[in-house]
Amino acid sequence: MSKINTTKNIINVSGVHRRYELAGQSVHALKGVDFQLAYGEFLSLVGRSGSGKTTLLNIVAGLDRPSEGTTYFKDQDLGSMSDEGLAILRRHHVGIVFQSSALMPLLTAYENVELPLRIQKISRSERDRRVKENLDLVGMIHRANHRPYELSGGEQQRIAIARAIITSPDVILADEPTGELDSITARKIFALFRDLVNERDISIIAATHDRALIDVVDKVVELKDGEIA
Ligand SMILES: Nc1ncnc2c1ncn2[C@@H]1O[C@H](COP(=O)(O)OP(=O)(O)OP(=O)(O)O)[C@@H](O)[C@H]1O
Ligand SMILES: [Mg+2]
């Protein structure tokens, strides 16, 4: 019998283990993790370096598969989906923000944000409208024609967020999005996430080391040595 409640939670992780096997050595990175993200929730995943935050986010994103356990996105069991199915799910429903922005270096800010819409074959006029709207939302419309190396770290991260939300995903998964930013800029990024949750009905998981940021989130989940603390 499934105990999954698909009405309240957009993400349900249950009994997840992840073991990495390396030349005879096994690393048990996640040890039976149960975890839920509710619709419209801003959740912060905290924990020391090596506690399993990235491993868990990659599994939730369908970028990696658990050694054991199940992950549901809405009512879809990720374990039953093909790699191609997972890629399609990500393209339409999940926005991913990494620790360093991973923008395309030769594209402008505008073109970086536009890229997911090109992949979705959205028309040019619709792309233009949405790119401008989202650049404006993250406060970067005035830097539309800059390339990543002509932007500060915080500005690059805001472009990465605009790129992650351009497809109107249901959920944003952010892996230490403020890891390379100063504390004031980091707070601004978390405030922007807060606004997205409040105004756009997006659900967010943001992994962070920085406990000073967590006063704006709805819920904090701590990982300790591969287990929920
Ligand atoms: N590809 C891999 N192969 C083998 N071991 C790995 C791999 N990726 C992570 N690990 C191990 O799994 C554990 C959890 O790593 P993970 O990257 O999830 O931690 P983290 O909480 O994201 O840490 P950080 O805060 O430093 O980013 C660590 O002990 C790490 O060494
Ligand atoms: Mg990590």
> How much is the average pLDDT of 185-190?
87
CA of 50 to the centre of ligand 2 (A): 7
Q: Which atom of ligand 1 is nearest to the CA of 47?
A: 21
Please state, in angstroms and rounded to a whole number, the distance separating the CA atoms of residues 113 and 107: 9
Average pLDDT, the chain: 92
Q: What is the dihedral of CA 61, 66, 69, 73, to 10 degrees?
A: 10
- Measured at the alpha carbon of residue 224, what is the angle toward residues 93 and 39, in degrees to the nearest 5? 25
pLDDT for 173 beyond 80:
yes
* Domains of the chain, start order: 41-66+84-228 (3.40.50.300)
Q: What is the pLDDT of residue 6?
A: 53
Q: What is the pLDDT of residue 119?
A: 92
Please state, in angstroms and rounded to a whole number, the distance separating the CA atoms of residues 163 and 131: 9
Residues with a CB atom less than 6 Å from ligand 1: 20, 22, 27, 29, 47, 49-55
Q: Is residue 193 within 8 Å of 206, Cβ to Cβ? A: yes
User: Best mutation site among 55, 63, 100, 222 for ligand 1, i.e. most ligand atoms within 8 A of its Cβ?
Assistant: 55
| Nearest ligand to the CA atom of 56 | 1
Q: Which atom of ligand 1 is nearest to the CA of 226?
A: 14
Please state, in angstroms and rounded to a whole number, the distance separating the CA atoms of residues 201 and 181: 26
User: Best mutation site among 20, 205, 210, 211 for ligand 1, i.e. most ligand atoms within 8 A of its Cβ?
Assistant: 20
Q: What share of the chain is helix, strand, coil (3-state, %, to 5)?
A: 40, 30, 35
Q: The tokens of 25 are what?
A: 């050595």
CA of 16 to the centre of ligand 1 (A): 15
Instruction: Give me the residues paired with residue 73 across strands.
Output: 11, 76
- Measured at the alpha carbon of residue 119, what is the angle toward residues 113 and 124, in degrees to the nearest 5? 70
* Listed range (28-37, 120-129, 170-179) with the worst mean pLDDT: 170-179
Share of residues in the chain with pLDDT > 70 (%): 97
Note the pLDDT tens digit of each residue in 211-229.
888 899 999 999 999 999 9
Note the pLDDT tens digit of each residue in 42-86.
999 999 999 999 999 999 999 999 999 999 999 899 999 999 999
